[in-house]
Amino acid sequence: MVFHGFQQLGGPERITGSLILAVFTAVLGSLQFGYNLGVINAPQKIIERSYNETWMRRQTGVDHPRPIDQSVLTTLWSLSVAIFSVGGMVSSLLVGTLAEWLGRKKAMLVNNSLAMIGGILMGLSKYCQSYEMLILGRFVIGAYSGISSGLVPIYIGEISPTSLRGMLGTLHQLGIVSGILIAQIFGLDVILGTDELWPFLLAITVLPAILQAALLPLCPESPRFLYIMRNEESKAKICLRALTGQQDVTPSLSEMKDEKQRMDMERKVTVAQLFRSPMYRQPIFIAIMLQLSQQLSGINAVFYYSTSIFIGMGIKQPVYITIGVGIINTVFTVLSLFLVERMGRRALHLLGLAGMCLCAVVMTVSLALLDKLPWMSYVSTVGIFGFVAFFEVGPGPIPWFIVGELFSQGPRAAAVTVAGLTNWSSNFIVGMSFQYIVELCGPFVFLIFALLLLGFFTFTYFRVPETRGKTFDQIASAFRRNPSLLDHEFKQHGTELDYLDDDSSV
Ligand SMILES: *[C@@H]1O[C@H](CO)[C@@H](O)[C@H](O)[C@H]1NC(C)=O
């Protein structure tokens, strides 16, 4: 049987042109998400200057217009940064509905209209002398990003052949970090980071949106969506043939048939049921804590504000160090792609959290000593580089991975919604409050993150199971049989869910 199926597949699964096109097109969405995450970092001072000018110019008829208050400026800027995550928070609730209603492909296509609207609003805000337009544009592009960060992994996961699913799936994270890096490079004052050109820096996000909208009609719809959700077997076959490059798609189709049967048996679980049922309470708690560990680690404080942190350190060319951060970020994401299947999720997450915690302490100490010892600025730079590197090793990619793995088909959609909402809300809290906390506690701001990281490390150590190499069914049934998963089981069996293997034969 196995050999028969293997022969029909024609040996190892092939990467076809159609698959490459579809993955590339989808990842343009991740790229835009990253771009907008990183884009307001470098030009902070320039755009703040423009806010000040607008503020003064609006006081027409006044002989000596008063400049903007520092506190008002801080509020306006924090809002411009953080409203992005409010957009994401709102729209992440719609991902499931959109993906089911329009299908994966059309949902991505329609979503591009948000990118265009957001880009145009931000691009014209200076011309129209309105920081309100910029803030609204950030909200809209945040909404785009929330939908895109949900749809892209779903689409890529569904069109990829099983053996390539992990690798292709991580391209989403790689798209995000490349987007951040591109934004940082474009934000240089020799490129678009100037008083005249910054509107283009923000508006340029419409270009990948146009490219994606042009390419999407050429991409196949997800065969899994067509067959499992819509029951359209012939259309699913056409898309499968394009994606696999093979005429006979019976093996893939029969695999989907199995999945459909299993799904029909398992009822869909709502968000409320997720919290009420003792069966899901433990995994959803773990999923929420892991999302919090990603955002409250302070990583977005670095992605949003690193340039101003470096200015505070007295560094002359802060933007280049910010680009250094972007490069480290990308390199370590690639490294994590190779490590995640070898070392396991739990180990990498623990390693990442511990490393970040250590780097946060290094940053705190070096920033506090900066006045007395100027060379400490090198130490804090190393601290920030290490912080970002350790983030991408574990806390960056893994929380997304694990949410999908902790739940079976029935509750998965609800769990992803809860996780997305947690992620975007905590992202908002950090983006909004960071500047104020800096004003309050100066260099000791990273000590707060260090303490939080220590807490998340402890939680992960005692509560998070290893999911590598376990099927969805094995993980879910472990939680089902023992709702307070491994309160004691952990102590008996160490940290791996070893006993799960014995159940696979059941
Ligand atoms: C706003 O601009 C005025 C005039 O250029 C300047 O004096 C003032 O310091 C600026 N305010 C802030 C908060 O940057």
pLDDT score of 501: 37
pLDDT score of 290: 95
CA–centroid distance, 374 to ligand 1, in Å, is 29
Three-class SS of residue 205?
A: coil
211 and 274 belong to one structural domain: no
132 and 202 belong to one structural domain: yes
**What count of Cα atoms within 13 Å lies in the side-chain half-sphere of residue 467?**
28
pLDDT score of 420: 87
**What confidence category does residue 374 fall into, taking pLDDT thresholds of 50, 70 and 90?**
confident
**Mean pLDDT for the stretch of residues 335-354:** 87
353 and 482 belong to one structural domain: yes
Q: For residues 205 and 197, what is the distance between their CA atoms, to the nearest angstrom?
A: 14
Structural domain that includes position 315: 270-506
Last residue of a domain, one of 204, 219, 234: 219
pLDDT in tens, 461-474: 999 888 776 766 67
pLDDT score of 484: 53
Last residue of a domain, one of 154, 189, 219: 219
Nearest CA to ligand 1 atom 10: 67
Q: Of 294, 353, 344, 382, which Cα lies nearest the Cα of 465?
A: 344
Q: Of 497, 490, 487, 484, which Cα lies nearest the Cα of 278?
A: 484
| Residue 133 scores a pLDDT above 90 | yes
pLDDT score of 255: 82
| Residue 307 scores a pLDDT above 90 | no
Q: For residues 383 and 346, what is the distance between their CA atoms, to the nearest angstrom?
A: 24
pLDDT score of 365: 93
Mean pLDDT rounded to a whole number for the chain:
85
pLDDT score of 181: 94
Q: Which two tokens stand for residue 488?
A: 């004691």
pLDDT in tens, 239-279: 999 998 888 888 888 888 887 887 777 777 888 888 998 88
Within a domain: 242: no
182 and 294 belong to one structural domain: no
Cβ neighbors of 375 (< 8 A, separation 6 or more) are none
| Residue 1 scores a pLDDT above 50 | no
173 and 303 belong to one structural domain: no
Q: Of 38, 34, 77, 32, which Cα lies nearest the Cα of 55?
A: 77
Could you give the percent of the chain with pLDDT greater than 70?
A: 91
Q: How does DSSP classify residue 11?
A: S
174 and 47 belong to one structural domain: yes
CA–centroid distance, 77 to ligand 1, in Å, is 15
Within a domain: 483: yes
**What confidence category does residue 13 fall into, taking pLDDT thresholds of 50, 70 and 90?**
low
Most confident of 18-22, 334-338, 363-367: 18-22
Q: Which two tokens stand for residue 53?
A: 């000018």
449 and 311 belong to one structural domain: yes
**What confidence category does residue 487 fall into, taking pLDDT thresholds of 50, 70 and 90?**
very low
Within a domain: 255: no
Q: For residues 177 and 38, what is the distance between their CA atoms, to the nearest angstrom?
A: 9
351 and 483 belong to one structural domain: yes
Task: Identify which has the larger pLDDT, 267 or 187.
Answer: 187
Indicate which atom in ligand 1 lies nearest the CA of residue 55: 1
Within a domain: 237: no
Cβ neighbors of 106 (< 8 A, separation 6 or more) are none
Q: Of 403, 499, 422, which Cα lies nearest the Cα of 88?
A: 422
Nearest CA to ligand 1 atom 7: 67
Instruction: Count Cβ atoms within 10 A of the Cβ of residue 394 and give its class: 0-12 exposed, 13-18 middle, 19 or more buried.
Output: buried
202 and 326 belong to one structural domain: no
In degrees, to the nearest 5, what angle opens at C-alpha 134 toward C-alphas 129 and 135? 125
pLDDT score of 500: 38
Within a domain: 243: no
State how many domains the chain has. 2
What residues line ligand 1, using a CB cutoff of 6 Å?
A: 52, 67-68, 70, 73
209 and 285 belong to one structural domain: no
Within a domain: 143: yes
Within a domain: 195: yes
Last residue of a domain, one of 219, 236, 257: 219
Amino acid letter, 247: Q
Nearest CA to ligand 1 atom 4: 67
Q: Which residue has the tokens 């699964």?
A: 13
What's the 3-state SS for 214-279? HHHHHCCCCHHHHHHHCCCHHHHHHHHHHHHCCCCCHHHHHHHHHHHHHHHHCCCCCHHHHHHCHH
Nearest CA to ligand 1 atom 3: 67
Could you give the percent of the chain with pLDDT greater than 90?
A: 50
Report CA Rg, the chain.
24
Cβ neighbors of 469 (< 8 A, separation 6 or more) are none
**What confidence category does residue 339 fall into, taking pLDDT thresholds of 50, 70 and 90?**
confident
Other residues' Cβ atoms within 10 Å of the Cβ of residue 102: 15
CB 184 within 8 A of CB 42: yes
Cβ neighbors of 315 (< 8 A, separation 6 or more) are 321, 377, 381
Q: Which residue has the tokens 């396991």?
A: 344
pLDDT score of 4: 32
| Residue 236 scores a pLDDT above 60 | yes
202 and 275 belong to one structural domain: no
| Residue 414 scores a pLDDT above 90 | no
What's the distance, CA 484 to chain centroid?
29
| Residue 453 scores a pLDDT above 50 | yes
Indicate which atom in ligand 1 lies nearest the CA of residue 70: 13
**Mean pLDDT for the stretch of residues 399-413:** 78
Task: Please report, for the domain that includes residue 410, its CATH number.
Answer: 1.20.1250.20
Cβ neighbors of 269 (< 8 A, separation 6 or more) are 277, 280, 410, 411, 414
| Residue 222 scores a pLDDT above 60 | yes
pLDDT score of 483: 53
440 and 367 belong to one structural domain: yes
Among 46, 47, 50, 52, residue to substitute to test ligand 1 (most atoms within 8 Å of Cβ)? 52
**Mean pLDDT for the stretch of residues 345-357:** 94
pLDDT score of 480: 67
Among 48, 68, 76, 308, residue to substitute to test ligand 1 (most atoms within 8 Å of Cβ)? 68
Within a domain: 10: no
Q: Which two tokens stand for residue 275?
A: 């919290």
Q: For residues 41 and 64, what is the distance between their CA atoms, to the nearest angstrom?
A: 32
Q: Which two tokens stand for residue 46?
A: 């320039």
pLDDT score of 451: 97
CA–centroid distance, 190 to ligand 1, in Å, is 24
pLDDT in tens, 50-79: 999 999 998 887 888 899 999 999 999 999
